[in-house]
Chain A
Amino acid sequence: MAGALAYLAQILFLIRKELRDLFKDRSSRALLIAPAIIQSLLFGYGGTFDLTHVPYALLDQSRGSASRELVARLDGTGVFEREATLSSASQIAGQIDAGRVLLAVSIPPDFETLLAAGSEAPVQVILDGRNSATASAAAGYVASVVAAFNAERGNAPAVTIDRRAWFNPNLQSRWNLMPALIAALSMLQTLMLSAMSVAREREQGTFDQLLVTPLTPTQILIGKALPTMAVGILQSTLIFLVILFWFRIPISGSVPLLYLGLASFTLASVGIGLSISAVSLNMQQAMLYTFLLVMPLMLLSGMITPVANMPEILQIATYANPLRFGIDLVRRVYLEGAGLSDIAFDFVPLLCIAAVTLPLAAWLFRNRLS
């Protein structure tokens, strides 16, 4: 009993030392807290696929009531903003090339006549394809405006599709991205912190001093892992609060479950970070290896593009990626309100990663030959 107490006390001293080191001066404190908030605000606003402003150029050669009505519908969406009203087709290229407009709508002179004749009246839409995602989204908007225009004119289809979206009723991409950031931004920091921590002690010679104390590698491991996890979870919390109270994305699942998921995710990240740290000779290497790893982890996590869209072989590779499961966990608990049984599978790879990397790191502490 006394032995266990002493064991824990030693770990507490380690943790206190790590935390003091991390939060010692104001600049390092700021470096741990401010970026999480600033980034979540920036990316919350910046990371969106949703079109809110589509500047367009109009070339209305028909100038009839029908074309006016169509244009009024476009302008009435609040999304399409007419940047320019053109008088000839030759002006279109200039507008699009310069990036002033995303698309040009050209209504031919015979628009009115064709409609009156009961035939198909073409409306030409020219899109700037430099960002294909934006272009196709804008095209979709135009199509829905035109469909509404047609329906008004008595061209209702036989069957309509009633669309309802669960979990994200307005299909806002911010809802998709922000919960992912809870995991992704904190992983970036935890990996970096844990990778640098041992490398820094090695470079400064303090690691030897630690190794000659009666601390066991396990204690050192716990003493290194817990503070880093705490920082990671603190950052997750900051981002979580920004999402909840600033962007007002409602959480549907249970907060304790969210934190349980974050804890196991952070544990896996710290395991990877400490392993990097244990193989690195110096801080430069620790940082570079972290990045070498973090980039693929981010890209193959489903944060921006879904895992399901990846080639089969990469999908298999993502099983070793804690971020994939971290993001999945957070999104599903946050947005879907998933319960423990729904996401139980996500814990398996996370805990497996932790179970491999943490003992590996502890072993490397002592057995890495300098």
Chain B
Amino acid sequence: MSARPPIVAAEGLRKTFEGPDGGEVAALDGLTLQMRPGELTALVGPDGAGKTTLIRMVAGLLRPEAGTLQVLGRDVTADPQGVQDRISYMPQRFGLYDDLSVQENLDLYADLHGVPGEERRERFARMLEMTDLARFTARPAGKLSGGMKQKLGLACTLVRSPELLLLDEPSVGVDPLSRRDLWKIVQQLVDEEQLSVLVSTAYMDEAERCAQVWVLNRGKVLDRGTPEELRARARGLTFLAVPPAGMRARELQARMVDAPREVVDAVPAGGRVRFIRQPGADEAALGTLLAGAELLPREEELEDTFMMLLRQHAAETAGDPAAAPAPAPALDPARGAAPAAAAGPVIEVRDLVRKFGDFTAVASTSFDVMPGEIFGLLGPNGAGKTTTFRMLCGLLPATSGKLDVGGRDLRSARARARAGIGYVSQKFALYGNLSVRENLEFFGGAYGLRGRALKARVAAALEEFELDPGARSGDLPAGYKQRLAMAAGLLHQPGILFLDEPTSGIDPLARRAFWRTITALSAQGVTVIVTTHFMEEAEYCDRIAIQDAGEMLIIGTPREVRAEAGTAGTDMNAAFIGIVEQARARRRDAEAAA
């Protein structure tokens, strides 16, 4: 097997981009990598690791400044078209034509790749079946949900069987169900056609499925190996901590995350805290930190190794922001918009309905959110989460029902009422042309901050989110854009925070830091409503609701939801998929009966 020549061979690749201050930033810094044919190879790494740059280079879209790159046995720098004729590439933001239908998009790419008629019919049938898009062939791509778009993108990329498939973060912003489908398709093609796939991902469970995993950071390879080999690096260091009665898992987790000398990483999971201890941690210090929590060893996972590698690398290159998790934000205790009466719910939604024409995006939805609560709104793409969000924020009128945010309906309330909320949208929605500081100043000003107060808040936000004030916002890597969006949404210290998929597309490290901020805010009484596709993040929530096809399927604490799903163990992902699929099956039965 190892006798076959590598399908991608990179040697000492280097690529720099101009940094915000005019200096050079190395996206790839002498990177050397080989990829074997006929298997899945994963690129994992934090934001700015160079994953996208590498993939674009393999696709012949970027020219290396130094080093050599052989793809399919050819020098891609010398003959990019020769390589492009044989590979398929799905960029992070796949270029679907929104105004063309699903079928027309597929036809276009099939024509461009010169797929002959007979083969095409077969391939289309298979792709449509795999992606479950057969019912929607006439629908314009712009009207598909995010997950469906991503599946269509993959289908367009796979209209013919390429010699090499490049996938750049294919599952960003995709719900667990679609993600599962997506991977099923890829896996099937690898198994049946010996497809060679190079995929970059922020999900460690996806990397686990790959034959080879390359961990990148700052343009360099940190480590490589099979998932098993990599997992072994964390052996003996992984545990579960069961918090003592009366302590919330995320409170314990917060303490542990703040102690980088003893703990590499900690996340809440199923009412407990999964953590990795530092190899040379002081037992006594660890004991104090755990505060009487019961310790259970657990099996190591790829994510554990990943976190360890990154923390190590960060510690070696001192001054790296990843070295220490973000400190809890220093916040002003006097919060203007925080609800005075802590007793009642701060958000009340009753029988909320939203229709677009004859399509019901949100069907009779009711829920309450209590002050200081972290409320998670989960659901597949297109389930109506974003529509619900937009109604809550007053961006979209409700067709019927009652909406009450901080005692008011934001759609009809005076503009001042919106001063109490913060909103971070799914898509990066800040001014790409302006610098980080200019964006923050603007949004601070729009929320009524001025003078010294504004300056202080901007300075605090820059520090808290580790942002370079002079950088042009549009040029930031995805993760930093997300941080900037968060910073802008939090600048005015809102009492209620709406976060629409705030962590999609950002790496595990940044997600930890992000959730550290959120839990700290919540501890200070800020109400947070958040949507996410990372099911493990649901563990941070006090309560979660799962929505599908506009309907509310379940509301409860993460533990209750897991119990309801009847899935054993602590896997929130499985619980989510279980609940949605059960509901869908019930609906199909009802439709069949009707």
Contact = CB atoms under 8 A, between A and B. Distances in A.
The reply to whether A and B meet directly (CB within 8 Å) is yes
B286 interface: no
A212 B418 contact: yes
Contacts of B416: 214
Chain A's interface size range is 20 to 34
Interface in A11-31: 12-14, 16-17, 20-21, 24-25
A25 B450 CA distance: 26
Contact of A212 (B423, B427, B438, B444): B423
Nearest to B426: A205
Contact of A17 (B395, B425, B429, B434): B434
Contacts of B394: 211-212
Given A208-B390, A215-B415, 14 more contacts: A6-B450, A14-B446, A17-B442, A17-B445, A20-B434, A20-B438, A21-B431, A21-B433, A24-B434, A205-B427, A205-B429, A209-B443, A210-B446, A212-B418
A212 B421 contact: yes
A279 to B, nearest CB: 18
A9 interface: yes
B419 interface: yes
A9 B431 CA distance: 20
Contacts of B429: 204-206, 208-209
A209 B481 CA distance: 14
Contacts of A9: 445, 448, 450
Contacts of A20: 433-434, 438
Nearest to A12: B445
Contacts of B488: 209
B540 interface: no
Interface string A308-324: 00000000000000000
Chain B's interface size range is 20 to 34
Contact of B425 (A10, A14, A209): A209
B438 A17 contact: yes
B447 A213 contact: yes
13 contacts: A10-B446, A13-B446, A14-B446, A20-B433, A25-B433, A204-B429, A204-B432, A206-B429, A206-B431, A208-B395, A212-B418, A214-B415, A214-B447
B236 to A, nearest CB: 47
Interface string B381-404: 000000000100111000000000
Contact of A24 (B395, B430, B433, B448): B433
B448 A6 contact: yes
A213 B431 contact: no
Contact of A214 (B390, B430, B434, B448): B448
B68 to A, nearest CB: 35
A6 B189 CA distance: 60
Given A17-B431, A205-B427, A10 B448 contact: yes
A205 B444 CA distance: 18
B142 to A, nearest CB: 11
Contacts of A25: 433
A214 B429 CA distance: 17
A216 interface: yes
B501 interface: no
Contacts of A212: 393-395, 418, 421, 423
B428 interface: yes
Closest 7 CB pairs of A and B: A13-B445, A205-B429, A213-B446, A216-B415, A214-B419, A17-B442, A212-B423
Q: Interface centre among B429, B438, B441, B450, by most A CB within 10 Å? A: B429
Interface in B158-186: none
Nearest to A25: B433
Nearest to A24: B433
A211 B395 contact: yes
Contacts of B390: 208
Nearest to B474: A204
Contacts of B428: 205
Contacts of B438: 17, 20
A215 B442 contact: no
Contacts of A211: 394-395
Contact of A16 (B421, B427, B432, B442): B442
A210 B393 CA distance: 12
Interface of A: 6, 9-10, 12-14, 16-17, 20-21, 24-25, 204-206, 208-216, 219
A214 B427 contact: no
A209 B430 CA distance: 8
A208 B394 CA distance: 10
A310 to B, nearest CB: 39
Contacts of B434: 17, 20-21, 24
A295 to B, nearest CB: 26
A324 B431 CA distance: 36
B448 A208 contact: no
Q: Interface centre among A208, A210, A211, A214, by most B CB within 10 Å? A: A214
Interface in B319-374: none
A205 B433 contact: no
Contacts of B431: 17, 21, 206
A6 B336 CA distance: 16
Nearest to A6: B448
Contacts of A215: 415, 446
A25 B428 CA distance: 21
Q: Interface centre among A9, A12, A13, A211, by most B CB within 10 Å? A: A13
A214 B336 CA distance: 14
Nearest to B390: A208
Nearest to B421: A212
B445 to A, nearest CB: 3
Contact of B418 (A17, A205, A208, A213): A213
A209 B486 CA distance: 12
Nearest to B488: A209
Contacts of B448: 6, 9-10, 214
Contacts of A24: 433-434
Nearest to A367: B397
A219 B416 CA distance: 12
A10 B419 CA distance: 12
A214 B413 CA distance: 10
A210 B425 CA distance: 11
A7 to B, nearest CB: 9
Q: Interface centre among B417, B428, B431, B434, by most A CB within 10 Å? A: B431
A21 B447 CA distance: 19
A214 B445 contact: no
A199 to B, nearest CB: 15
Contacts of A219: 415
A106 B433 CA distance: 67
Contacts of A209: 423, 425, 429-430, 443, 488
B443 A213 contact: yes
Contacts of B444: 13
Interface in B423-477: 423, 425, 427-434, 438, 441-448, 450
A208 B433 CA distance: 17
A98 to B, nearest CB: 49
A100 B592 CA distance: 85
Contacts of A214: 415-419, 446-448
Contacts of B393: 212
Contacts of A208: 390, 395, 423, 425, 429
A199 B85 CA distance: 37
B490 to A, nearest CB: 13
Contacts of B441: 13, 16
Contacts of A21: 431, 433-434
A164 to B, nearest CB: 55
Contacts of B417: 214
B475 to A, nearest CB: 12
Contacts of B443: 209, 213
A213 B429 CA distance: 13
A299 to B, nearest CB: 32
Contacts of A14: 442, 445-446
